């Protein structure tokens, strides 16, 4: 297992063990700090690694969400579709949903002149974990109004190999 990048207190402990950590006298008393050219680099490394540590790493996930197939499923979808699309737009603006998402359709929908029959959703989203993405899915109106089939919905990490 790879070792994590050093940051914050761990870096400070390592540096103090190598006697690079210095004490600086200020008006209010002694404060820890790094001084000199070499120590300035350590200060920068420590502050950037600390800010990176507070920013969780985002991964890409695919959500495959087929709809329920009962008699009222399509009606439930249409009832809340406008709200779902408004939320999807906000999620796209926030960076959660990528620009690659949309409804699943039946193969028959591809025929010339055929009506597009919506049977689910596919979304590429950004999140820190499957659990993080699932928590967000559970707030979607398609989930709360039983449009998406809760037993068949799949969330999986994905690597995108091409720009679409």
For residue 122, give its domain range.
Answer: 59-157
* Residues 6+ away with beta carbon under 8 Å from 130: 61, 155, 156, 157
Which secondary-structure segment (H or E) carries 59? strand 59-66
> Same domain, yes or no, for 26 and 44?
yes
Q: Which residues of the chain have pLDDT under 50?
A: 1-50
> Same domain, yes or no, for 68 and 35?
no
> Same domain, yes or no, for 19 and 81?
no
Put simply, whether the predicted model's pTM sits higher than 0.85 gets the answer no
> Same domain, yes or no, for 16 and 67?
no
Residue 46: the pLDDT is 45
Residue 56: the pLDDT is 85
- CATH code of the domain in which 125 resides: 3.30.70.1060
Give the number of other CB atoms < 10 A from CB of residue 67.
22
Q: What share of the chain is helix, strand, coil (3-state, %, to 5)?
A: 40, 25, 35
> Same domain, yes or no, for 111 and 70?
yes
> Same domain, yes or no, for 99 and 152?
yes
Residue 55: the pLDDT is 79
């Amino acid at each position: 297992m790879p070792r994590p990048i050093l940051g914050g207190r761990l870096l400070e402990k390592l540096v103090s063990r190598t006697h690079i950590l210095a004490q600086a006298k200020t008006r209010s008393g002694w404060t820890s700090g790094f001084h000199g050219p070499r120590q300035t680099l350590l200060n920068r490394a420590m502050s950037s690694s600390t800010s990176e540590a507070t920013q969780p790493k985002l991964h890409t996930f695919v959500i495959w969400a087929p709809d329920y197939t009962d008699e009222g499923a399509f009606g439930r979808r249409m009832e809340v579709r406008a709200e779902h699309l408004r939320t999807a737009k906000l999620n796209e603006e926030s960076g959660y949903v990528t620009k690659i998402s949309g409804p699943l359709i039946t193969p028959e929908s591809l025929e010339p002149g055929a009506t597009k029959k919506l049977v689910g959703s596919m979304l590429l989203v950004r999140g820190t974990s499957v659990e993080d993405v699932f928590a967000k899915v559970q707030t979607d109106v398609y989930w709360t109004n039983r449009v998406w089939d809760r037993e068949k919905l799949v969330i999986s990490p994905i690597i995108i190999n091409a720009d679409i």
